[in-house]
Amino acid sequence: MMKWLTALFFSIIVHILIFLTYVLFATESVEKTTRKITNVNFLNDELQVKEEVRERIKSQEKSVKKQDSEDLKATKNKEIENLQEYLKEEEMQKRVSDNADIIEQISYKVIKDIEALWIRPNSAKAGMFADFNLSINRSGIIENVEMKKTSGDRAFDRAALNAIRKYKQIKYVRNLDDQTFQAYFSNFTLRFRPE
């Protein structure tokens, strides 16, 4: 029991010491200082504060309006540029479409001309075709013919090759501009599939 009382006594002493150190070191000392305040404007009137706030708001609104007008001008310039780009793109697509029509017409005429020169072999069946790689100079003369894909029937392939060689010149490419000729007809693959 004595041990308990001793422990209780020491606990109380420790707590009292903690409390006293807290009280001694936690007190604030208030010192009076005499200072002179200079260049301070005291605003007694709320109207002055409101005026300053209004002035700030007006200046911010002006800067926002100025920024908006600059943004609007930039947006209009971008729209004009986008419109010009769109018109250029549309014009280019029209040229490509016109070129595609011309190319399709020329291709159709060439195939029909070659079919007219073709002598049908007895072994030819419906749906047969052969692919030929043609190299043509600017005046339309066929300079080189190579078989790219065979039909599987030698007589059919030979007859198609002979028809292309007899054709000799594609007269329709003379009127094409150089860019279209180089892109589509200087070296191209012809699929010979007679109907």
Query: Three-class SS string for the chain?
Result: CHHHHHHHHHHHHHHHHHHHHHHHHCCCCCCCCCCCCCCCCCCCCHHHHHHHHHHHHHHHHHHHHHHHHHHHHHHHHHHHHHHHHHHHHHHHHHHHHHHHHHHHHHHHHHHHHHHHHCCCCCCCCCCCCEEEEEEECCCCEEEEEEEEECCCCHHHHHHHHHHHHHHCECHHHHHCCHHHHHHHCCEEEEEECCC
Q: Which two tokens stand for residue 84?
A: 């010009």
| pTM of structure | 0.51
Comparing 11 with 3, the larger pLDDT belongs to: 11
pLDDT in tens, 50-106: 677 778 787 777 777 777 777 777 777 777 788 788 888 888 787 777 777 888 888
Q: pLDDT band for position 12 (50/70/90)?
A: very high
Q: Which two tokens stand for residue 58?
A: 């007006």
Q: Is the pLDDT of residue 118 over 80?
A: yes
Q: pLDDT band for position 40 (50/70/90)?
A: very low
| CA 90 to chain centroid | 18
| Mean pLDDT (the chain, rounded) | 81
Return the CATH fold of 82-192: 3.30.1150
Burial 122-156 (b: 16+ CB within 10 A, else e): eebeeebebbbebebeeebebeebebeeebebeeb
> What are the C-alpha distances in Å from 8 to residues 1, 18, 20, 110?
11, 15, 19, 118
Alpha carbon distance, N-terminus to C-terminus of the chain: 123
Inter-residue contact 115 to 193 (CB < 8 Å):
no
* Least trusted range by pLDDT, from 17-21, 91-95, 151-155: 91-95
Domain residue spans in the chain?
A: 82-192
